[in-house]
Amino acid sequence: MKKTTQKSPISGGPRNLVLAVLIVVGSLFVLTKLTDYARQVKTLSYSSLLKHIENNNVKSVHVSGQHVDGILKNNEHFESIIAYNPSFWDTLKQHEVEFSVSAPSNTWYFSFIGILFLLLLLMAWYTVRQLRNVGGGSGSGSNGLFSMGKSKAKLFMPSTVKVTFKDVAGAVEAKEDLHDLVDFLKHPEKYQRLGAKITRGVLLIGEPGNGKTLLARAVAGEANCPFFSISGSDFIEVFVGVGAARVRDLFAQARKHAPSIIFIDEIDAVGRHRGSGLGGGHDEREQTLNQLLTEMDGFQTGDSSVIVLAATNRPDVLDKALLRPGRFDRHVFVPYPDLTSREQILRVHAKNIKLDPEVDLLKIARGTPGFSGADLANLINEAAINASKNNQSLVTMQDLDISRDKAILGKENKTMRQTPEDLKITAFHEAGHALIRLLMPEDSDPLYKVTIVPRGRALGVTHWLPEREKYHQSKDELIGNIMAALGGRAAEELVFNKITTGAGSDFQHATKIAHDMVCSYGMSDLGPIIYNPNQQSFDYSSQTASLIDQEVRKLLTSCYEKVTIMLRENRDKLDTLALKLLEKETLYAQEIYELLNLEPRVDHSILS
């Protein structure tokens, strides 16, 4: 049942505050009028007052500035406003009217001060009401003024946490490391009988989207214990001391529900190096961090057990005291998924998607190196959206290809209109890339598809897919990648006898590979030496820098010459491929093998 709370009419916001002020002012005005009515005071104009005086109807008057209060001879009270006129006093004397004089009244001044005071009281009351609502979402459910120090962590009881390690695809090593914690929470006596102490602080390190939060929930689901989840930024407040109070309250709640798990997401928001900033906000963060350090250093009470999991993608900014033994001394790395893990993740997210039987998720996994788990989930969802827009009954391989291309290159540019000459240059450029890739040795990555459909800033793209996860590359393979990158410019120059700006990104890619070969991999005549200008310990002279430039230039020039020779010797295949691209816009590897009468590459995948 949803809990309802009564709200004060003053706590509804600034609109209600203004309404309350208007009610108060209106009430004062009405009271003033009622008082005047109760006194039965008659209001006379200045001319009427003079007539009454001249007719000897006035008994006495009291003058205060321009305001006159008086009594007629029939004992009726009156009031009037007079103009400045020195003869008025002579008129009173002539008709024997008793009069008295006093300084002008400050009634309106005091009324204004009173109203202002009431406004200040109402504003103070409104502010207090707002402060009392701060912290209303805490675990205790209190709305009091001091509930700001209550923890904002969300408590998940064991019955509500359904995630287990079976629901986490990939991350095999991370799950193995976390299994020790689960075993300790389930069977603490197994460790206590030998005097072993399990690690109480575990830091999950990995890039965003790789499943750190999912792993933390899986630990709670496996251990079947209460799970407190909070973000590091939830501790920090504008008021100094609130963050430390929230840390104390969080650990107090965790002890009450022990054995339990505390998960702090984005801990770098509160755990940064102390002394790295200025100002009150920084003081608040440091106090919060100090309290966290204190709570983690021996927070076991009796037989209760509390384990703290934290996640970050910036371990380099964390305070050293937070990482020392006894706190977060176990680091679990959650890397980008490898090929096997990517396929498993795709299958998990495609479980509820109606896929065409021809869909090959392994091929999609091979074409998504560097994708995080969140990226792969988005890829499947985008493919389903595309199929739905086209009123398809199933999600096809083409939908997945479009989704992947959109994630890597951007959305297809349908408004771009190229001239026939531009399209021809683009077709021969991409055909040059593809043909060189096909003519490369067996250890290079095989061709997947070629397209001249513009996406993002690219007028065309040549895709190749790694057959397996690679952890090292040979010199021949790197040279092959350089040659494939230079194939587009070489084809332009060979066919059109001119060069364009379309090869800029290709040159950038090729130059980086060549520079790494010379400076980082020792694959040049300069020998097995590291030349890294970004590290002070590897500084080198200008003469060495000149030699490096020469080696890079020699490597690129040699590759370009080889590519030109290969394309000239296979000019018929280049023309055939380019003309077919102009006709169909997109060609897959199998179509190209049949078109050029080439033997398909042998699949060296370890998963085949």
Task: Tokens for 492, please give them.
Answer: 């332009």
Residue 39 and residue 33: Cα distance in Å, rounded? 10
Q: What angle do CA 513, 405, 388 make, to 5 degrees?
A: 165
Amino acid letter, 346: L
> E strand or H helix at 204, and its extent?
strand 201-205
Among 295, 430, 467, 551, the active-site one is 430
Edge-to-edge strand ranges of the sheet holding 67-72: 42-44, 77-81, 67-72, 58-64, 98-102
Task: Respond yes or no: is residue 430 known to be catalytic.
Answer: yes
Amino acid letter for position 214: L
Beta-bridge mates of residue 230: 264
Q: Long-range CB contacts (< 8 A, 24+ apart) of 416-422?
A: 416/454, 418/454, 418/459, 422/459
Query: What tokens appear for 387 in the block?
Result: 């199929």
Burial class (CB in 10 A: 0-12, 13-18, 19+), 594: exposed
Q: How far is CA 453 from the centre of its chain?
A: 32
Q: How far is CA 40 from the centre of its chain?
A: 70
Phi, psi of 585, deg, nearest 5: 70, -40
Contact 53, 46 (CB under 8 A): no
22-25 own/partner pairs: CB under 8 Å, 24+ apart: 24/115, 24/118, 24/122, 25/115
The catalytic site residues sit at 430
